[in-house]
């Protein structure tokens, strides 16, 4: 009977111990204030990192130039963009994982509401993620910051708490804390790469062999079909994705740009897939953004060369540098 009550008591107390562990260890770095998000042990919510960095630093750094988009914006480095801006301009990378147009528009409205100048704006759109419909993306890596989307503080943090209590994550997280070693069986629960963020511009530096061409002998990495699948040439996306809500937001966005006299550029990403942006959606974008829209989708000089990609989803900074030289020619 003693053993039974002892085990029963442990059973009751254990979840509370795990809850205390969540607040003490803060694995997703969303509870305490951090001077830097460098070298995270788990994959972070990039939207949270960008938003918190902006809120904390905008008064000190006087940002007036912004890059918006998904994780593919890491190809467009603020340090490279600055070459095409005025000397007094201070750029900030305001990206988020799988960022959609609703997220981009919400961030620009948020900045404008704070009376912060939008002198220069670079927006990176992607055929596969930019227009999924009006919704707050699920999952702790994608949920939008409650201060920008105006959602509940508690419902926002509950998303991270739920991710923490996933058995797979718990086993990986506490095994790592006890051994200080990341094992292959931990999978995507922990961050394998060493990631550093410039505390001023939010520019990312990822230290990983796959991100450094010099460490890929004979380009053997690019022969792996599980990373770089065979493509069948360019074809057109037949499905229109831009909703009436997105289109209305585009019109509102132009009004904000006109009010701020914003020097803006809209880029459609050169994805590895070589699928051309939908014609109807392109016409909608063109009708709003005019000659400041640049379409690099489909089969291009960028997408032909596998060396231009880290994997089948993200293109390298040399592509971003080349695109900047084209759109600011």
Give the C-alpha separation, 222 to 122, whole Å. 30
Res 17: pLDDT: 87
Give the C-alpha separation, 97 to 144, whole Å. 10
Sign of the four-CA dihedral 317, 321, 324, 326: negative
**pLDDT tens string 281-294:** 999 999 999 999 99
Res 146: pLDDT: 94
94 half-sphere exposure, CB direction, 13 A CA radius: 34
pTM recorded for the entire structure: 0.91
260 half-sphere exposure, CB direction, 13 A CA radius: 24
Res 117: pLDDT: 97
Res 74: pLDDT: 92
The neighbouring-strand residues paired with 197 are 204
Mapped onto helix, strand or coil, the DSSP state of residue 235 is: strand
Q: Structural domains in the chain?
A: 38-136+192-327 (3.40.50)
Residue 139 is given by DSSP the state S
Res 209: pLDDT: 55
H or E segment to which residue 194 belongs? strand 194-197
Residue whose token pair is 């704006």: 121
Res 153: pLDDT: 93
> In which residue ranges of the chain is pLDDT below 70?
1-12, 133-137, 208-225
DSSP secondary structure string, 98-111?
A: T--HHHHHHHHHHH
Which residues are CB-contacts of 284 (< 8 A; sequence separation ≥ 6)? 242, 247, 250
Res 13: pLDDT: 72
């Amino acid at each position: 009977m003693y053993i039974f009550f002892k085990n029963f008591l442990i059973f009751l107390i254990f979840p509370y111990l795990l809850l205390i562990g969540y607040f003490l260890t803060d694995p997703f770095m969303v509870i305490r204030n951090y001077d830097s998000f460098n070298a995270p042990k788990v994959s972070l919510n990039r939207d949270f990192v960008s938003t918190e960095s902006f809120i904390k630093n905008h008064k000190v750094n006087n940002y007036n130039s912004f890059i918006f988009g998904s994780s593919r914006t890491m190809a467009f480095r603020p340090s490279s963009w600055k070459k095409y801006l005025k000397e007094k301009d201070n750029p900030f990378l305001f990206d988020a994982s799988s960022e959609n147009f609703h997220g981009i528009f919400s961030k620009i409205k948020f900045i404008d509401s704070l009376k912060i100048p939008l002198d220069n704006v670079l927006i990176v759109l992607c055929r596969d993620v930019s227009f999924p419909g009006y919704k707050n993306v699920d999952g702790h890596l994608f949920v939008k910051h409650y201060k920008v989307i105006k959602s509940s503080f508690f419902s926002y943090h509950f998303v991270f708490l739920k991710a923490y209590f996933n058995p797979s994550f718990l086993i990986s997280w506490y095994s790592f804390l006890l051994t200080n070693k990341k094992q292959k069986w931990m999978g995507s629960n922990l961050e394998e790469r060493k990631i550093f963020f410039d505390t001023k511009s939010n520019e990312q530096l990822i230290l990983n062999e796959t991100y450094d061409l010099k460490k890929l002998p004979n380009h053997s990495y690019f022969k792996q079909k599980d990373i770089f699948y065979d493509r069948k040439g360019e074809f057109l996306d037949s499905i229109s994705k831009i909703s009436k809500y997105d289109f209305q937001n585009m019109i509102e966005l132009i009004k904000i740009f006109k009010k701020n006299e914003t020097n803006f550029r809209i880029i459609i990403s050169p994805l590895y897939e070589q699928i051309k942006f939908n014609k109807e959606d392109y016409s909608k974008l063109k009708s709003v953004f005019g000659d400041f829209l640049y379409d690099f989708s489909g089969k291009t000089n960028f997408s032909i060369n596998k060396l231009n990609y880290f994997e089948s989803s993200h293109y390298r900074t040399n592509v971003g540098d080349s695109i900047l030289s084209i759109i600011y020619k």
